[in-house]
Structure 1
Amino acid sequence: MQIDWSGVFPAATTQFNADESLNIAATLKHLDVMLEAGINGLVMLGTVGENCSLSQEEKIEVLSATVKHVGGRVPVLTGVSEYTTSQACNFARAAKEAGVDGLMVLPPMSYKADADEIVTHIRGVAAATDLPVMVYNNPACYGVDVSAEAVAELSRVSNIVAVKEASDDPRRLTDIANLVSDDFVLFCGVDDLALESIALGAHGWISGLVNAFPQENRLMWDLATSGNYDEARKVYRWYTPLLHLDTKPKLVQYIKLAVQECGLGSEQCRNPRLSLTGAERESVLNIIHTAIATRPVIK
């Protein structure tokens, strides 16, 4: 299966009202800012999109509104983050009905599956529709590691076409590349390994901080992929304190606070995620405000 997935794909936020109800209008308004900055695709309902905090009905509402609003300008993928394979298959079918262009499939939530179980789960979800599938590996967050060998095995399924690699080890990209066909798509999934991943041949970057800094994010991608590493390093060094926020347990709160401070949305999350307070809030705000004050000039 041939796909055209490359470049910067935000792991987009889901915006909420103060009472934690969905704010679809604000979610779409935020997407417009990133689309205008030149993003290349969207991943809705990933970790940053608070997938597991939404009911299936709410998830489909978000996806349907997004697909209609985007109108084919860029590919729209959805996270598939469920507790059982049957639930994931049901959601995958519903997401296809909502019009999404692809699925980003996580290992089963809460259960620490072994290698065979992970492969069986992802294969099962891929079989539920004919949509292209991206495997998502994030052992730090989800407690299981989809090894390079497992990714290679999954790549033999016709509609499993990509991986979001977030193992915090950039060597893994090369290990995967050495085991899969040339048309299998490699995405960086760790914000503060983006430049390293581009140098190692990543075709795309699924980013969290792009939600707050879409123009700067695209600038670094363009500089690096055009081979201008001197200028890309300058942007990356400015950006890295922010990008570190993507690797923390409270990444959703941190990224949404950055979105709010940049005037692009609200920090409101759904419980159990609470707004930051005290010294932790001040520390994160200092990183965000320093970045805003020193952001690179985009010509």
Structure 2
Amino acid sequence: MSEVFNGVIAPVVTPFDSQGELAVETIADSVEFTLECGCHGIVAAGTGVQETATLTPAERKTVITETIKAVDGRTRVMAGVSYPAQPVVNDLIEHAENEGADGVLAMPPWGVPPSRKANIRYYKHIADQTDLPVLVYNNPAVTVDMAKETILEIAKIDGIDYIKESSRDWDKLAWEFERIQHAGHAEMLSTMDVLLPTLMTGGKGIVISAPLTVPSMQIYEAYEAGDLNTAVELQRTFGTFPPDEADAGLTAVCKAATELAGVDVGPPRQPYDAIGETGREAIDEWMDEMGIPRM
């Protein structure tokens, strides 16, 4: 198993201008904010928070290229290659390799829900297409919630190195840790709500966007240093974020926070909702309390 993408892996928020077009010139600023918040690796155009499903394949390629260029070797970059059409997946994998990505990430296809067999076939194809580390990203918010038995079968495929479980279902996570992580099939990552129990159960980290990477890094470092009391106190942070006033979803929250930090990433791409003024004020207050960097 690869350990290239252990720790806190941060998807970079995708910027759009006032017309909803990809703001290419702001991608580097979004990367800088993400790096300033701290992480062990970066994701380009691959997750739900990054609005991946709203991007065209050409836009995905641009984001991958500009992200790798902006990172400039300071950390590892994983490129998103998910798509409901296999030829586009192939094209994205080839582009990621040519641009120098260190790994690829794939959610299940979105749109028509794929069957169990289709998902297994999809991930086997991706693993066969590249020698880069592959992260399987189970994200029920964007596509199907794959059953744990399906994820286990996928984890057994040669070339599958990581599983990111976003469901927040602890029974499911515990089952997967035993049969995937501890059985030696793939490294397990989860999300912010269950970061500390993930580490305590042998998981290797999380995938989460800035500024949530700030407390995530603190939890990870406290746990690695054996300071469980501090890690527990920091884990409670996620009980207060997102604030109750910010109820438009994690994408909108992370974009609002990035803007409040000084990076003009714009609101979520239409037709999705942005955070209102009351929510932005609550996010800003949380950022001050947590010492989130301002650009």
Question: How many percent of aligned residue pairs carry the same amino acid?
Answer: 23
Distance in 1 (CA, whole Å) between partners of 2:203 and 2:18 is 38
Q: Sort the Cα spacing of 1:232 and 1:267 in 2 relative to 1 into closer, same or farther, 3 A.
A: farther
The alignment of Structure 1 onto Structure 2 pairs a total of residues equal to 289
Distance in 1 (CA, whole Å) between partners of 2:77 and 2:151 is 22
**Stretch moving more, 40-49 or 147-156:** 147-156
Q: CA deviation at 1:212?
A: 2.4
Please name the residue that 1:10 is paired with: 10
* 2:108 and 2:119 in contact (8 A); partners too: yes
RMSD over aligned Cα atoms: 2.6
- 1:73-84 pair list within 5 angstroms: 73-84=74-85
Q: CA deviation at 1:184?
A: 1.9
Q: Sort the Cα spacing of 1:214 and 1:191 in 2 relative to 1 into closer, same or farther, 3 A.
A: closer
Counterpart amino acid of 2:289?
A: T
Q: Sort the Cα spacing of 1:237 and 1:296 in 2 relative to 1 into closer, same or farther, 3 A.
A: farther
* 1:191 and 1:243 in contact (8 A); partners too: no
1:70 aligns with 2:65: no
* 2:48 and 2:141 in contact (8 A); partners too: no
Structure 1's consecutive aligned runs of 4 or more residues displaced over 6 angstroms after TM superposition are: none
1:295 aligns with 2:294: no
Please name the residue that 2:268 is paired with: 269
Distance in 2 (CA, whole Å) between partners of 1:194 and 1:78 is 23
- What SS does the corresponding residue of 1:294 show, helix, strand or coil? helix
Q: Sort the Cα spacing of 1:294 and 1:38 in 2 relative to 1 into closer, same or farther, 3 A.
A: closer
Q: Deviations over 1:133-155 (max 9, x none)?
A: 1111122442x232332222222
Distance in 2 (CA, whole Å) between partners of 1:25 and 1:260 is 15
Distance in 1 (CA, whole Å) between partners of 2:271 and 2:239 is 28
Question: Given the two structures, how large is their TM-score scaled by the length of structure 1?
Answer: 0.86
1:285 aligns with 2:280: yes
Q: CA deviation at 1:170?
A: 2.5
* 1:267 and 1:275 in contact (8 A); partners too: no
Counterpart amino acid of 2:170?
A: P
* 1:11 and 1:206 in contact (8 A); partners too: yes
Q: Deviations over 1:198-225 (max 9, x none)?
A: 22222021013xx125433321221133
* 2:242 and 2:250 in contact (8 A); partners too: no
Q: CA deviation at 1:286?
A: 4.7
Q: Sort the Cα spacing of 1:37 and 1:259 in 2 relative to 1 into closer, same or farther, 3 A.
A: closer
1:135 aligns with 2:136: yes
- What SS does the corresponding residue of 1:10 show, helix, strand or coil? strand
Q: Deviations over 1:25-63 (max 9, x none)?
A: 322122223324431001111212111222222211111
Q: CA deviation at 1:267?
A: 3.6
What runs of 5+ residues in structure 1 fail to find an aligned partner?
none
Please name the residue that 2:189 is paired with: 187
Q: Sort the Cα spacing of 1:49 and 1:139 in 2 relative to 1 into closer, same or farther, 3 A.
A: closer
Please name the residue that 1:212 is paired with: 211
* 2:192 and 2:216 in contact (8 A); partners too: no
Please name the residue that 1:197 is paired with: 198
What runs of 5+ residues in structure 2 fail to find an aligned partner?
none
Q: Sort the Cα spacing of 1:65 and 1:35 in 2 relative to 1 into closer, same or farther, 3 A.
A: same
Distance in 1 (CA, whole Å) between partners of 2:105 and 2:58 is 18
Counterpart amino acid of 1:241?
A: T
Q: CA deviation at 1:88?
A: 2.0
- What SS does the corresponding residue of 1:65 show, helix, strand or coil? helix
Q: CA deviation at 1:257?
A: 0.8
Q: Deviations over 1:64-112 (max 9, x none)?
A: 1221222332221122231223332232222222221111111111111
1:22 aligns with 2:22: yes
